[in-house]
């Protein structure tokens, strides 16, 4: 393995080795910038990033967790088992606008499933430079597919051996292999002072002049790799005791080449219990470094994981950080105040697009301030193949005046993540503040059609952006606010506030009646403003946002936090703007639900409430609406008495909504009229076809019509573009009924619908169904029909009872899975019929 893995969770074992090897291989050839593997977690429906190669994990924390139902390429690959190739940003925006909004940079990506046989473990994904079209990356896609298949087979073997292949930790990080011929100039290591256990990256053996295969697992192995072991051993002992050397210490590797060792003790790096250090090549690059040390501007170099490999004295001076706290550590460990969304967005852009970034940062107040330089620094970051170079120089930029976050402010600005309580004078680079979270939220809201879906999107997109833990949405009805959604609040806490009138003095009411958002940094501040208000146990901040769409009040949104915090100018503005987006989405959802209720009522009125009966025939029908879009469609079934026989009918009108339901009603009436007149099946299909063309030339429908003689069991059937019926014989053998049929109704006025004759034996079951029962996104419909065929064979056993309840049980069993599927993209209709051997006696 050419990369190096360092997981903060320190997870050992074969699973970690497999993941890091795959990630390194994924970015080790072609021109891939980064790669990673998502695996299933112990939480149902949640994928977690298990390994990340070529990018700093800190910058991509929002993408560590991903729900499989989100409209992202990784989710689609895992859920549907398909490959997704996005050659460039244009194609990404077209197919996955939320993904593109979250990472709005010019790059391409490839995503392939990690699976074996029937087991799907996760997704292998790589980020790469943009390509003109998918044809340019097909060879790379095929290579990644082979990598994913190899990993899937290995994970399957681990699973069979009893090992868990689920991932619930933070990701492992892999340093990609260097593309240039030069040897690595920096290696990082850490050790446990209590046990002496050593963890080092793959570059350490080369820098110390020992074979790459030699294991360095204990601190004594490190000591043995230098020409003066007692001196290094003494330095390590002092470091473990909390007295690390202030400056890099010169040593010589086993091969005699000069090296520098920089050490830090336990607790120096964010309170870590282990001690650590870096080994630097003091040879080939020393001349260049010495020249950079004389420059008037600060200069830093970072690897692709964000670790600082070099910093000249001017950089340390301008950043106000000791040189020893910069080199060998990640940029965010060395300069914590760079952990702001605006700055992180620039670094993401450089890493993913390889384009330079130029921006200003606000330097915190500190000692030895130079008045001529002010508080602002100008940073420029340039991308290289293996490293990033950053220059730092003073700037004369004048910051915006500070805003006191305690005052009630109605201001605007950009988006910032929750960093806890901040200094009131901290300003952000508002000109370049990242807006991808509001954009992603806006795009997601366009896809939400019900109030529940809108609320779920707000919870998934808004809370993570600000670090919130609680959400409540109230909607206005007849001058009262009713709770529509809650998350994170103690059970029953919000119940007393449900249905409060607009004359009640509560922050959730007053934010709506005044149209002004209310922000409280802590519970004591909220309690002081509203004495006597019931509060939960936390002392965290609260934000009350009015939901107003086009000047009309819609409701109130409440965000809750676990700890006190202030709200910056940017955050207040974005939350205010986002509240407007939520209000418009809720208003649209309320209109949708009103229309959907009308459509459902229309559809229920059009579907048969009672099926025509015959003493020798039992029938059962089931209808399930879809749960996406309008939730009503054009599927229907019917049983009609016709000249001493029974007509079994099932059909599916294109589309969903009121129009589809209305067309369905017209077709059902037409088919019934033809059936009552005892027209042959082909004439029923032809007549209905002409009627639909006359009614709506742009609409079409599928249909299957079967005329069954209850006495003889002879059935004559015609089909118009509809799925083939299934026939379960009394012995359990179940098969598709071959009915040649014709094109769908509403397309060709000259269409012909041939008639096929079959016989329904006593005890046999004829099953007519619509495609919603057998079709799933990303799966072959033939597989769905095969599954229904097996289910009918297993469910159809038993005696046909005189009480007419036998088929009802079969119909329920065949639709069990569909009834419990939350996300049904299409509606479903099912019609079953069976013959009794003789008419039941009238006792």
Q: What is the dihedral of CA 730, 736, 738, 742, to 10 degrees?
A: 130
Is 70 exceeded by the pLDDT of residue 20?
A: yes
Find how far residue 755's CA is from the centre of its chain. 49
**What six digits make up the tokens of 718?**
């015609």
More confident position, 769 or 341:
769
**Maximum distance among all alpha carbons in the chain?**
110
Q: From its phi and psi, is residue 64 left (phi > 0), alpha (psi between -120 and 50) or beta?
A: alpha
DSSP label at 268? T
Q: Say if residues 52 and 174 touch (Cβ distance below 8 Å).
A: yes
In 612-769, alpha helices (H): 658-676, 681-695
State pLDDT tens for residues 365-376.
654 444 344 478
DSSP state letters, 755-796 = -EEEE--BT-EEEEE-GGGT--TTS-HHHHHHHHHHHHHHH-
Q: How far apart are CA 824 and CA 777, in angstroms?
A: 10
Q: Cα(799)–Cα(779) distance, rounded to whole angstroms?
A: 35
Q: What angle do helix axes 658-676 and 569-606 make, rounded to 10 degrees?
A: 10
List the structure tokens of 695: 């009614």
| pLDDT at position 841 over 60 | no
pLDDT tens for residues 771-802? 889 887 666 788 889 999 999 998 866 555 54
* pLDDT, tens only, 678-689: 899 999 999 999
Q: Which of 800, 810, 788 is nearest to 735 (CA)?
A: 788
pLDDT score for 327: 83
Q: Which two tokens stand for residue 328?
A: 């060998």
Q: Residue 767 in contact with residue 725, Cβ under 8 Å?
A: yes
Q: What is the mean pLDDT of the chain?
A: 79
* 461: its two tokens: 């997109």
What confidence score (pLDDT) does residue 56 get? Answer: 86
| Residue in 768, 749, 620, 756 with CA at minimum distance from that of residue 681 | 756
**Cα gap 110→74, rounded to integer Å:** 9
Rounded to whole angstroms, the Cα distance separating 833 from 812 reads: 14
Measured between alpha carbons, how far is residue 140 from residues 21, 29, 99, 137, 495 in Å? Answer: 17, 9, 21, 5, 56
| Environment class of 87 (CB within 10 Å of its CB; exposed 0-12, middle 13-18, buried 19+) | buried
**Between helices 451-466 and 436-447, what is the axis angle to 10°?**
170
Q: How many CB atoms lie within 10 A of CB 580?
A: 16
Three-state SS for 409? coil
pLDDT reported for residue 834: 93
Which range (331-340, 442-451, 651-660, 811-820) has the least confidence?
Answer: 442-451
Assessment of whether the complete model's pTM goes beyond 0.85: no
pLDDT band at 401 (very low <50, low <70, confident <90, very high): very low
């Amino acid at each position: 393995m050419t990369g190096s893995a360092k997981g903060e969770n320190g997870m050992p074992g074969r699973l970690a080795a497999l993941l890091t090897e795959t990630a390194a291989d994924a970015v080790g050839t072609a021109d891939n910038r980064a790669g990673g593997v998502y695996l299933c977690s112990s939480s149902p429906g949640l994928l977690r990033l298990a390994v990340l190669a070529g990018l700093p994990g800190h910058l991509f924390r929002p993408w560590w967790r991903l729900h499989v139902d989100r409209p992202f390429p990784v989710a689609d690959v895992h859920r549907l088992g398909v490959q997704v190739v996005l050659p460039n940003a244009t194609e990404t925006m077209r197919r996955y606008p939320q993904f593109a909004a979250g990472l709005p940079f010019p790059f391409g990506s490839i995503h392939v499933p990690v699976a074996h046989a029937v087991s799907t473990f996760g997704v292998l994904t790589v980020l790469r430079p943009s390509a003109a079209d998918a044809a340019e990356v097909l060879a790379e896609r095929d290579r990644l597919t082979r990598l994913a298949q190899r990993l899937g087979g290995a994970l399957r073997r681990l699973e069979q051996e009893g090992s868990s292949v689920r991932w619930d930790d933070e990701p492992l990080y892999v340093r990609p292999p260097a593309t240039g011929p030069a040897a690595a100039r920096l290696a990082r290591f850490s050790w446990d002072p209590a046990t002496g256990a050593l963890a080092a990256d793959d570059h350490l053996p080369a820098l110390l002049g020992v074979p790459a295969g030699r294991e360095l697992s204990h601190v004594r192995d490190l000591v043995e790799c230098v020409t003066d072991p007692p001196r290094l051993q003494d330095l390590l002992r002092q470091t473990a005791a909390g007295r690390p050397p202030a400056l890099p210490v010169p040593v010589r590797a086993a091969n005699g080449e000069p090296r520098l060792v920089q050490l830090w003790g336990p607790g120096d790096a964010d309170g870590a219990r282990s001690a650590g250090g870096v080994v630097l090549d003091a040879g080939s690059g020393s001349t260049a470094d010495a020249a950079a040390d004389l420059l008037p501007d600060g200069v830093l170099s970072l690897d692709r994981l964000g670790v600082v490999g070099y910093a000249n004295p001017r950089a340390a001076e301008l950043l106000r950080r000791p040189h020893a706290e910069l080199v060998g550590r990640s940029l965010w460990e060395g300069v914590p105040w760079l952990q702001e969304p605006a700055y992180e967005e620039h670094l993401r852009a450089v890493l993913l697009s390889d384009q330079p970034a130029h921006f200003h940062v606000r330097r915190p107040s500190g000692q030895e301030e130079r008045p001529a330089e002010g508080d602002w620094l100008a940073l420029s970051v340039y991308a290289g193949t293996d490293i990033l170079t950053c220059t730092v120089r003073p700037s004369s930029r004048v910051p915006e005046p500070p805003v006191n976050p305690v005052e009630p402010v109605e201001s605007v600005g950009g988006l910032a993540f929750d960093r806890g309580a901040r200094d009131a004078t901290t300003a952000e680079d508002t000109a370049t503040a990242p807006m991808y979270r509001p954009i992603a939220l806006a795009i997601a809201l366009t896809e939400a059609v019900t109030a529940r879906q809108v609320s779920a999107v707000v919870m998934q997109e808004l809370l993570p952006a600000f670090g919130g833990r609680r959400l409540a949405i109230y909607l206005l009805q007849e001058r009262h606010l009713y709770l529509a959604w809650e998350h994170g609040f103690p059970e029953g806490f919000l119940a007393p506030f449900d249905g409060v009138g607009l004359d009640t003095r509560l922050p959730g009411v007053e934010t709506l009646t005044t149209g002004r958002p209310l922000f409280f940094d802590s519970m004591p501040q909220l309690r002081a403003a509203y004495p006597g208000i019931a509060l939960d146990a936390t002392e965290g901040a609260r934000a009350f946002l009015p939901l107003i769409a086009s000047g009309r009040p819609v409701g109130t949104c409440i965000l809750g936090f676990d700890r006190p915090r202030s709200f910056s100018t940017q955050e207040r503005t974005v939350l205010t703007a986002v509240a407007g987006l939520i209000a418009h989405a809720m208003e649209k959802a309320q209109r949708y639900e009103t229309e959907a209720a009308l459509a459902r009522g229309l559809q229920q009125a059009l579907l048969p409430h009672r099926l025509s009966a015959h003493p020798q025939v039992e029938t059962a029908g089931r209808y399930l609406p879809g749960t996406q879009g309008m939730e009503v469609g054009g599927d229907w079934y019917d049983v009609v008495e016709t000249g001493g026989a029974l007509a079994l009918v099932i059909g599916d009108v294109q589309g969903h909504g009121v129009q589809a339901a209305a067309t369905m009603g017209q077709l059902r009436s037409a088919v019934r009229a033809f059936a009552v007149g005892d027209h042959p099946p082909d004439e029923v299909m032809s007549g209905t076809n002409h009627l639909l063309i006359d009614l709506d030339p742009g609409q079409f429908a599928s249909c299957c019509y079967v005329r069954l003689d209850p006495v003889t069991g002879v059935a004559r059937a015609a089909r118009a573009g509809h799925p083939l019926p299934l026939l379960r014989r009394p012995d359990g053998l179940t098969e598709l009924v071959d009915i040649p049929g014709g094109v769908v109704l509403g397309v060709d006025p000259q269409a012909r619908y041939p008639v096929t004759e079959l016989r329904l034996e006593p005890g046999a079951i004829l099953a007519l169904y619509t495609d919603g029962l057998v079709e799933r996104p990303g799966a072959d419909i033939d597989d769905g029909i095969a599954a229904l065929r097996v289910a009918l064979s297993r469910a159809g056993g038993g005696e046909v009872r005189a009480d007419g309840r036998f088929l009802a049980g079969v119909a329920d069993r065949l639709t069990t899975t569909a009834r419990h599927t939350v996300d049904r993209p299409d509606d479903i209709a099912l019609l079953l019929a069976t013959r009794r051997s003789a008419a039941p006696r009238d006792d």
